């Protein structure tokens, strides 16, 4: 085998061996890796978990939107809208309940009026006491049931006239009742809670009637009367 052949064989084997990395470049790579590891550990301690593959931080532009912050804002707006909807629904429900009670109780007032007038007329006619007690019990039971829904009756007898609670249908003079006071109540009034469901119909006193002053008869004779008497004497 020739010398040229001997020198060629080592060159053919050298192509299968990894190239040798210079010491300076290896040291730089090790230093960069150590810095990256230190950065990742520092971020983990601070509570942030950046991507270790990205060594360069990218700051969002002025038009960039944080999806988490945007979702939180949407959640807050949705929560406020739902709270307003719940309050409005509760208020409307209360108004519907009050209006329904007003309609029902208003229709039943005619029944209460009939009971009251019937018992009064029956007592004047002298009907049996047992019958009157039975009707009085039914009337009390009906008032008790309506009282559970805050229905209360108004009594205006001998009370001072109040235009907010009373409806005057007549004014009469009365020596026993002071002026602007109720002489008689012709129809009872009712309140539902704090609302006036129906005012009392009343007759209002004008006070004691004015005394009539008698006309004084003048005793002095008029001049014309004297001339008339003289003429009669001459004749």
Range with the poorest average pLDDT among 63-67, 89-93, 96-100, 158-162: 63-67
Instruction: Give the pLDDT confidence score for residue 209 in this predicted structure.
Output: 80
The DSSP symbol for 167 reads E
Give pLDDT tens digits for 27-47.
666 666 666 666 656 665 665
Q: What is the residue whose two structure tokens read 């009907």?
A: 127
User: CA separation (Å) from 82 to 70, 76, 89, 141?
Assistant: 18, 10, 10, 43
pLDDT digits (tens, 9 = 90+) for 143-175: 999 999 999 999 898 899 999 999 999 999 988
Distances (CA, A) of 26 to 22, 29, 39, 189, 211: 6, 5, 20, 104, 132
Q: What is the pLDDT of residue 121?
A: 86
With a cut of 80, say whether residue 87 has pLDDT above it: yes
Reported as a pLDDT band with limits 50, 70 and 90, residue 55 is very low
Residue 212 has a pLDDT of: 56
Angle (CA) 205 210 212, round 5°: 150
**4 versus 215: which is more confidently predicted?**
215
């Amino acid at each position: 085998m020739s010398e040229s052949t001997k020198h060629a064989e080592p060159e053919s084997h050298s192509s299968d061996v990894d190239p040798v990395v210079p010491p300076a470049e290896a040291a730089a790579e090790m230093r960069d890796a150590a810095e990256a590891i230190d950065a990742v550990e520092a971020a983990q301690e601070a509570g942030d978990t950046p991507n270790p593959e990205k060594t360069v931080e990218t700051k969002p532009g002025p038009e960039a939107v944080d999806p988490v912050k945007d979702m939180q804002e949407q959640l807050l707006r949705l929560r406020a809208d739902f709270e307003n909807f719940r309050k409005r629904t509760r208020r409307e429900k209360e108004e519907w309940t009050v209006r329904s009670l007003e309609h029902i109780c208003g229709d039943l007032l005619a029944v209460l009026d009939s009971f009251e007038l019937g018992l009064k007329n029956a007592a004047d006619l002298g009907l049996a006491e047992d019958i009157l007690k039975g009707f009085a019990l039914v009337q009390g039971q009906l008032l008790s049931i309506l009282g559970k829904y805050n229905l209360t009756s108004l009594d205006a007898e001998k009370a001072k006239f109040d235009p907010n609670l009373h409806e005057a249908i007549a004014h009469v003079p009365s020596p026993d009742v002071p002026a602007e006071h109720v002489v008689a109540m012709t129809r009872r009034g009712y309140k539902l809670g704090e609302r006036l469901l129906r005012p009392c119909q009343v007759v209002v006193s004008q006070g004691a009637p004015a005394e009539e002053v008698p006309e004084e008869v003048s005793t002095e004779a008029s001049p014309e009367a004297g001339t008339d008497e003289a003429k009669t004497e001459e004749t």
